[in-house]
C-alpha cells in the first residue's frame, strides 16, 4: 500500500514550541496510511516578488519542492494577536507564488491550532481557513481542532503526550485526516479524464 505523504507546517519557529510538540505527537500516532514530516519555515526569506526571478532563494526552492511532493498539508500553529503568525503567513505566501504555480493548490489540508490560552487559537484557525479558500485547498471541516490549555506539562520528556484527553484527541484528528486525504484523492481520481478516451 502506498502511503500518503503529509507535509506538516508548524507556525511557530521557537525552540521548545508547544505546537511543534503537538505536531510531533500527531506524526507519531497517525494511521499507517499516512507518513508525516515537518517542513521547516524558519529560514525562508520574506516573500518579495522581485526575488522570484532566477535564481530563486534556495530556501524557497527547497520549501516549494517539499510541499509539491506532498499529498496533503497539515497546519499546526499558534495564534499571534488573534491571527496567523508572521512566519507561517510568509511560508504560505512563498508557496503560493509565482502566480499560477502555487504548490498548495488542490492539496487536502487540515488545521490544528494550539495555545496555553482558553480559546485554543480560534481566531488564527479561521483566518488560516480563509487563506485555504484562495489557495484552493480542500480543508477538513470536522473535527475542529482548537486546542486550549496546552502546556509543557501535557508532554513527557520523550515528547509523547502524558495527558490522556489530549492524546485521544490527537489520535482521532490523525484518523479523521487520513480519511479526508483518501476521500479527496479518490474524488480527484474519479474526476480525472479517462486516459483511454472512451468516456466511460
Ligand X SMILES: Cc1cc2nc3c(=O)[nH]c(=O)nc-3n(C[C@H](O)[C@H](O)[C@H](O)COP(=O)(O)O)c2cc1C
Q: Is residue 78 involved in binding ligand X (CB under 6 A)?
A: yes
CB of 128 to ligand X, least distance (A): 13
Residue with cell 488542490: 106
Please say which residue, 4 or 77, places its beta carbon nearer to ligand X. 77
Answer yes or no: are the C-beta atoms of 103 and 68 closer than 8 Å: yes
Count of chain residues binding ligand X (CB under 6 A): 15
Strands across the sheet containing 109-114: 34-38, 4-10, 72-77, 109-114, 146-147
Per CB under 6 A, 4 contacts ligand X: no
Q: Are 167 and 22 in contact (CB under 8 A)?
A: no
| In the complex, least distance from residue 170 CB atom to ligand X, rounded to whole angstroms | 15
Say whether the peptide bond before residue 80 is cis (omega within 30 degrees of 0): no
- Minimal distance, residue 151 CB to ligand X, in Å: 9
Asked if 95 interacts with ligand X (CB under 6 A), we say no
Q: In the chain, what is the straight-line distance between the N-terminal and C-terminal CA atoms, in Å?
A: 26
Burial of 184 (0-12, 13-18, 19+ CB in 10 A): buried
Contact between 82 and ligand X by CB under 6 A: the answer reads yes
Task: State which of positions 7-66 bind ligand X (CB under 6 A).
Answer: 12, 14, 17-19
Residue 81 as a binder of ligand X (CB under 6 A): the answer is yes
**Residue 121 in the binding site for ligand X (CB under 6 A):** yes
| Pick 118 or 190: Cβ nearer ligand X | 118
Stretch that binds ligand X, among 57-65, 75-83, 166-174, 187-195 (CB under 6 A): 75-83
Distance of CA 26 to the CA centre of its chain: 11
Q: Which positions lie near ligand X, rule CB under 6 A? A: 12, 14, 17-19, 78-82, 115-117, 119, 121
Amino acid at each position: 500500500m502506498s502511503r500518503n505523504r503529509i507535509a506538516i507546517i508548524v507556525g511557530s519557529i521557537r525552540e521548545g514550541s508547544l505546537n511543534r510538540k503537538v505536531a510531533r505527537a500527531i506524526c507519531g500516532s497517525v494511521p499507517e496510511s499516512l507518513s508525516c514530516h515537518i517542513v521547516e519555515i524558519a529560514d525562508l526569506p520574506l516573500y518579495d516578488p522581485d526575488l522570484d526571478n532566477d535564481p530563486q532563494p534556495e530556501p524557497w526552492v527547497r520549501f516549494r519542492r517539499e510541499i509539491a511532493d506532498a499529498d496533503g498539508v497539515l497546519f499546526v500553529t499558534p495564534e499571534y494577536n488573534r491571527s496567523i503568525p508572521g512566519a507561517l503567513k510568509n511560508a504560505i505566501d512563498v508557496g503560493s507564488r509565482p502566480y499560477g504555480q502555487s504548490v498548495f493548490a488542490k492539496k487536502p489540508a487540515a488545521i490544528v491550532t494550539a495555545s496555553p490560552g482558553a480559546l485554543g487559537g480560534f481566531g488564527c484557525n479561521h483566518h488560516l481557513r480563509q487563506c485555504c479558500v484562495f489557495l484552493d485547498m480542500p480543508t477538513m471541516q470536522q473535527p475542529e481542532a482548537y486546542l486550549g490549555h496546552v502546556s509543557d506539562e501535557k508532554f513527557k520528556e520523550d515528547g509523547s503526550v502524558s495527558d490522556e484527553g489530549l492524546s485521544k484527541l490527537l489520535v482521532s484528528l490523525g484518523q479523521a485526516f487520513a480519511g479526508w486525504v483518501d476521500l479527496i484523492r479518490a474524488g480527484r481520481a474519479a474526476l480525472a479524464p479517462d486516459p483511454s478516451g472512451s468516456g466511460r
